[in-house]
Amino acid sequence: MDTMRIVERQAQQSETRILLLVLDGLGDIPGDDGATPLSAARRPNLDRLAAEGCCGRFDPVGPGITPGSGPGHLGLFGSDPSEIEIGRGVLSAVGVDFPLQRGDVAARFNFCTLGASGAIADRRAGRPSTEENRRLVARLREIPPPKGCELFVETESEHRGVLVVRGVGLGARLADTDPQATGVAPLPVRALEVGSERTAGIVAGFVAAAHRVLAAEPRVNGLLLRGFDSLPTIPSLAERFRLRPVCIATYPMYRGLARLVGMEMPAAPPALVDYPAALAAQHTGHDLFFVHVKYTDKAGEDGDFTRKRAVVEEVDALLPALLAPGFDVVVVTADHSTPVGHKAHSWHPVPGLVWAPGRVFRDATREFSEQACLGGGLGRMPLRFLLAEALAAAGKLAKYGA
Amino acid sequence: MDTMRIVERQAQQSETRILLLVLDGLGDIPGDDGATPLSAARRPNLDRLAAEGCCGRFDPVGPGITPGSGPGHLGLFGSDPSEIEIGRGVLSAVGVDFPLQRGDVAARFNFCTLGASGAIADRRAGRPSTEENRRLVARLREIPPPKGCELFVETESEHRGVLVVRGVGLGARLADTDPQATGVAPLPVRALEVGSERTAGIVAGFVAAAHRVLAAEPRVNGLLLRGFDSLPTIPSLAERFRLRPVCIATYPMYRGLARLVGMEMPAAPPALVDYPAALAAQHTGHDLFFVHVKYTDKAGEDGDFTRKRAVVEEVDALLPALLAPGFDVVVVTADHSTPVGHKAHSWHPVPGLVWAPGRVFRDATREFSEQACLGGGLGRMPLRFLLAEALAAAGKLAKYGA
């Protein structure tokens, strides 16, 4: 049995507070000079936490597997990402902070260019601007929904958008209409099971109406849909671990992922410098504080060593202010690695530390870096167990068995 | 879920090449002087790979479990050996390089000595020579098969051989006829389920005929069968990971195990010195190159420290030639440990390295030895995940989830 089931059973409320500080994409691999942005950064505050705490390395999904943001965060939140699938439509809806409800059916769409024959000439319609996307989405929002259901159309960016159908008894088992090729017509909207046939009818009606609305557009005159899905049934952190979690994050995607596990969601702080105040404002009434910093990942995706290092230094400088309200347990880690040399998410385990004086094994690690974490007392393990370590350190897990 | 399932789902073909160099039984435990054959060997080329790559230790099955060659190789090939059973009959057939087909029923047999009363006097018939075995097997091959099926009799060595029954609708659930005791008669051939009754009849007929054929032999006049089994349904590496694997090995057992997972099988190189040419000849059209060296294990089984060290040095000296065709990822490891102090397979994790510049975490390990691997960046994990690490390093795994 996955021992997180035991963690769920033994979870108990307590007055202790856990700060879960996530530097998105933090993990890196050393370059020829042996340095990573983290190891090269000036980070006295992170080093203090590492020296007083216990370090390790964590696989978001499993060895060799490069996680998207969804699986990475499921791991952070104590789930086995190989057991929970979040469809692209749901992730897109979550990513634009759309308040998806249980039973809603969401799909990602591309604006595309259709030729005179109806065949796809460009699957991305020449990548319209996001502003152009908003103008077109506004027009699609005027399409009246069929009786008894609601339609939502949302801009993602450029050629990308989200369609959400809301109603009673919908099904999400619909085939993609995007043939992932040009020179052929979009595929018909098609249900993959009986329970999704009514939804297929609703979506087909919308697509036909959208094509009429867009008919006069010079370039953006079609829609391709894929990744139909409904909210997965992810039990909340309150249900699983009796936590009262709150999210401090600016990016819609991560706010959405946190919402999927039932986190409270105060307004996004405008910038990193506003995080300490936003965090302090939630101090009462919560016991898990998920703080998400996106900028490490962006620098990693851009292959920008200097900027990634600078973000680490910026977070390190903010740490005293972040910690000022007082936490019993502090976890610092990432949802996945984004090595600057790869310019993309990677499969490498993420570094992590747990600080909880007198509660964790104080290992010999004296600094917070990928290299130092290699010898850390937490070893290498699946990321979901890091939450178990934090809960235990916070006194939130009762003894198992007599 | 075992995350190797995710690895299977995310597997994608690419032009990169992975060399999987297996030194059978390589792992050892340090003696009183702290040395192992590997750590004591002169191995500049292995050390270079370790220094540039990432090291770790791998449990073929799990902590404490001593694997046979079958489970050890299943781990190397990315399977969970605790999920797949290979019966002794199948392993024996595979071990003599018999081209076992799906549905064939195979059993290991012993030649034995039966007394006048029909009781077993010697379960191994005084250990006849392998040459004598071949002579007797030739006589058994003259026994005509019943209508609609084929019988194959193969020499293994000394008193050991393999019987294979081929036909439509056979069943392999047959009890051993070997009572594992002397002074009692062989057990009757008996089906353990209805679907194996016809097979039991065929085998019983063969055994009776064999006993008639051998009746005049002075010592070798009986057969004891055990380990009836059919080929397990092991999906090929092509099906699981979209690989195009090829095997360079001399010993039938390892060629057979590689065949079980669908590897291509060129002629065995006559000696170790011929491996580089044999490997180079397969460079086109393959992307996983399983190279198996048996001699480390043999030296371990003989408790011969000096010879085991010498084999490591021989392989190390061959490495530049082996690597000459060019590989993107190089893995060096073992299927199990065979410590010279044990003179047998053992449960100790095997050392391993993954070399893939810019793709793996370059840890602080500067040499390839059991001791150095202890601090390696891959940590300690089940052996099957080593293939996942290699596939990821080779760019053969797509991102999981959005």
8 Å CB contact of B400 and A34 = no
8 Å CB contact of B375 and A370 = no
- Other C-beta atoms within 10 Å of B346: how many? 20
Angstrom distance (rounded) from CA A184 to CA A178: 10
8 Å CB contact of A82 and B1 = yes
8 Å CB contact of A347 and B398 = no
pLDDT at B253 over 90: no
Q: What's the gap in Å between the CA of B370 and the closest CA on chain A?
A: 17
The pair of three-digit structure tokens given for residue A6, joined into one six-digit string: 């035991």
| Contact list, B377 vs chain A (CB under 8 Å) | 374
Residue listed under structure tokens 């991560």: A254
The vertex-A358 CA angle with A354 and A362, nearest 5°, equals 55
The tens digit of pLDDT for each residue in B331-378 reads: 999 999 999 999 999 999 999 999 999 999 999 999 999 999 999 999
In B11-153, where does DSSP find H-type helix? Answer: 37-40, 44-52, 69-76, 88-95, 130-140
| Contact list, B385 vs chain A (CB under 8 Å) | 62-64
Q: What number is the ipTM of this complex?
A: 0.89
pLDDT at A85 over 90: no
- What percentage of chain B exceeds 90 in pLDDT? 94
pLDDT at B81 over 90: yes
8 Å CB contact of A64 and B361 = no
8 Å CB contact of A29 and B361 = yes
| Contact list, A36 vs chain B (CB under 8 Å) | none
| Contact list, B10 vs chain A (CB under 8 Å) | 65-66
8 Å CB contact of B397 and A85 = no
Indicate the residue type of B57: R
Residue A380 and residue A58 in contact, taking contact as beta carbons nearer than 8 Å: yes
Nearest to A70 among B4, B360, B401 (CB): B401
Nearest to B364 among A64, A80, A371 (CB): A371
| Contact list, B362 vs chain A (CB under 8 Å) | 29-30, 34
| Contact list, B14 vs chain A (CB under 8 Å) | none
Q: What's the gap in Å between the CA of B397 and the closest CA on chain A?
A: 7
| Contact list, B358 vs chain A (CB under 8 Å) | 341
* Interface of chain B toward chain A, CB-CB under 8 angstroms: 1-7, 10, 358, 360-364, 375, 377-381, 385, 387-392, 397-402
The vertex-B188 CA angle with B129 and B220, nearest 5°, equals 20
Nearest to B363 among A62, A66, A374 (CB): A374
Q: What's the gap in Å between the CA of A374 and the closest CA on chain B?
A: 6
* Bridge partners (DSSP) listed for residue B351: B57
pLDDT for A228: 96
First to last CA, chain A: 19
How confident is residue A329, by pLDDT bands cut at 50, 70 and 90?
A: very high
Best residue of A76, A228, A305, A347 to probe chain B, by most B CBs closer than 10 Å: A347
DSSP state of B264: B
| Contact list, A88 vs chain B (CB under 8 Å) | 402
The tens digit of pLDDT for each residue in A112-123 reads: 999 999 999 999
The pair of three-digit structure tokens given for residue A133, joined into one six-digit string: 């996307």
Query: How many CB pairs (< 8 A) connect A and B?
Result: 96
Indicate the residue type of A297: D
- Mean pLDDT of the residues in chain B: 96
The tens digit of pLDDT for each residue in B172-223 reads: 999 999 999 999 999 999 999 999 999 999 999 999 999 999 999 989 999 9
The tens digit of pLDDT for each residue in B24-68 reads: 999 999 999 999 999 999 999 999 999 999 999 999 999 999 999
